[in-house]
Amino acid sequence: MTRSVIILFLLIVLSCKKDKWNDRNRIDDPALKKDLLQMISSNPDLSLFNTYLVKTGYDKVIASSKTFTVWAPTNKALQGIAPSIINDTAQLKRLIANHIANQSYLTTMPSPAIRIRTLNGKNITFTSTQIDEEHIISADQYTANGILHVVDGVLLPKMNAWEYLNSVDGLQQTFLQSLKYTGIDTTIAEQIGVDPQTGRPIYKPGTGLVELNRFLQRTDISNEDSLLTYVILKDNAYTDEKSKLVQYFTDTTAALTDTTTQWNVVKDLVFNGVYDADNLPAVLYSVKDSVKFHLDRTAIVSVQKVSNGIVYVMDHIDYELDSKIKPVIIEGERFYDLKDRTKASSVRTRINPLTHLLFRDIYIANHGINAFWINYKTVVNSVKYKVYWVAVNDFQTGTFPMRVAFKDPAVTGFPYKTVELNNYSEVYLGDYTTDHYGLLNLYLVGNSVTTNGLNTLVLDYIKLVPILN
């Protein structure tokens, strides 16, 4: 056999094998020749859903070359939809879009559940048998451009926690709405120049204006991608909380007192995660400030599942007051001002032999100034505090006195107290009652002599511990 005949024979054999391999892997499922719209329109039990797809324009969307997953409700399921939704184009579009998601999702994917963003921006929960609370009766139908599931119910778009709050009238909703203001979104504002002094962009007046809310900027309960538990207080419970807290947030005017008190009622009613009413943990810690709550299920008036979690309307809440009105710790090295800024200060890093933990303190010595002071500013509640310091004298053989003064370093405040040698413990200095909520000027004052070694200042921290009723 000639070489050319052998080569020709091998090519024929390989070609036959390739054809058999292709035949083996060829998928002849007719469904794969249909797109999602064609699959839906060919199913008589989905005719009503198909009608609404056409009415809202989503028929063209799911007939495109992109990949989608559709959870299509049966005709029976859709018959229960209120006419007010069907006859409102915007509401109907939101409804239909809530049944469609980008990409392909099979029932084998959840383990045990996944949250999926639909075309209307809401998230729905997908398991191997359900989508949100609706059952999948025909799953994983492949099409040319995605996956079709048939469901026995309608996926009504849920409000998020913020939307639900604003659908419920009450003192809490009224106060949170009062925190709205107009700000600038620099991503949509028109830039017209740059400030030569600061280098910051200059924007055209009137552009980029958006409505913002101070509460949402702190804790965004409108975020569709979050999972949270949120508490709305009935008016009687809201009023009770204001009455409980007002003594700790008394400000310089009645208006400021009221605003600050209400803020401290509402800011801690958000919890990370979703907690079922029948299985509430013994302790829940609020977002941001970790206030320690004990939510009583018997105080729950109503429950609302929302697109980003769950909302409880409650007529009573219980929390540990000392986790809301917290001690204030003023770190020595984080001062605001010095009596004489030309004088050198040192920050030391030490190990506390009692706790075996690192700590940092400020150390000022050999300054030669009578009653040298270090100024601190801190936010305090309107309450009586027990005051402590940790001041470690491990650098000289002799002791020296210091004192703490409030508002004015020349005012006595607490009497001088000797800083003993090698004392790493908290030392009680006395009680101090603040006259209003807000910023407090506090001073660490050195000995009223100019003698080096006797007018040294050293401080790890000052602690203010509130005395609560």
Tokens of 334: 């984080």
The residue among 323, 339, 366 that closes a domain is: 323
Tokens of 312: 């409880």
> Which band of pLDDT confidence, cut at 50, 70 and 90, is reported for residue 312?
very high
Asked if residue 185 has pLDDT above 70, the reply is yes
> Which band of pLDDT confidence, cut at 50, 70 and 90, is reported for residue 25?
very low
**pLDDT tens digits for 88-147?**
999 999 999 999 999 999 999 999 999 999 999 999 999 999 999 999 999 999 999 999
Range of the domain at 437: 328-466
- pLDDT computed for residue 2 by the predictor: 53
Asked if residue 308 has pLDDT above 50, the reply is yes
Tell me how far apart the alpha carbons of residues 304 and 144 are, in angstroms, rounded to a whole number. 38
Residues 433 and 307 in one domain: no
Residue 154 CB partners (closer than 8 Å, separation 6+)? 73, 77, 78, 80, 81, 95, 134
- Do the beta carbons of residue 228 and residue 271 sit within 8 Å? yes
- Give the CATH number of the domain where residue 265 resides: 2.30.180
Residue 115 belongs to some domain of the structure: yes
Closest CA to 214 of 160, 268, 164, 178: 178
Strand 228-233 relative to strand 309-314: parallel, antiparallel, unpaired?
parallel
Residues 313 and 351 in one domain: no
Tokens of 399: 């002791």
Residues 291 and 346 in one domain: no
Tell me how far apart the alpha carbons of residues 265 and 278 are, in angstroms, rounded to a whole number. 25
Residue 417 belongs to some domain of the structure: yes
Asked if residue 395 has pLDDT above 70, the reply is yes
Overall average pLDDT of the 381-398 stretch: 96
Overall average pLDDT of the 211-237 stretch: 97
Residues 344 and 454 in one domain: yes
- pLDDT computed for residue 412 by the predictor: 79
Residues 288 and 172 in one domain: yes
Residues 234 and 363 in one domain: no
Structural domains counted in the chain: 3
**pLDDT tens digits for 69-86?**
999 999 999 998 999 999
Residues 430 and 296 in one domain: no
- Give the CATH number of the domain where residue 440 resides: 2.60.120.260
Residue 441 CB partners (closer than 8 Å, separation 6+)? 375, 376, 377, 406, 407, 408
Asked if residue 24 has pLDDT above 70, the reply is no
DSSP 290-324: --EE---GGGEEEEEEETTEEEEEES---B-GGGT
Residues 384 and 335 in one domain: yes
Tell me how far apart the alpha carbons of residues 346 and 331 are, in angstroms, rounded to a whole number. 14
Closest CA to 422 of 385, 393, 447, 399: 393
- pLDDT computed for residue 7 by the predictor: 45
The residue among 298, 323, 348 that closes a domain is: 323
| 22 or 352, greater pLDDT | 352
Overall average pLDDT of the 239-244 stretch: 98
- Do the beta carbons of residue 459 and residue 374 sit within 8 Å? yes
Residues 55 and 108 in one domain: yes
Place of tokens 């799911």: 62
> Which band of pLDDT confidence, cut at 50, 70 and 90, is reported for residue 445?
very high
Residues 394 and 309 in one domain: no
Work out the burial of residue 128: count CB atoms within 10 Å of its CB; fewer than 13 is exposed, 13-18 middle, 19 or more buried. Answer: middle
Residue 218 belongs to some domain of the structure: no
Residues 165 and 292 in one domain: yes
**pLDDT tens digits for 143-183?**
999 999 999 999 999 999 999 999 999 999 999 999 999 99
Tell me what percent of the residues of the chain surpass a pLDDT of 70.
93
User: Phi and psi dihedrals of 461, rounded to 5?
Assistant: -160, 160
Identify whether 409 is preceded by a cis peptide bond (ω within 30 of 0). no
Global pTM? Answer: 0.86
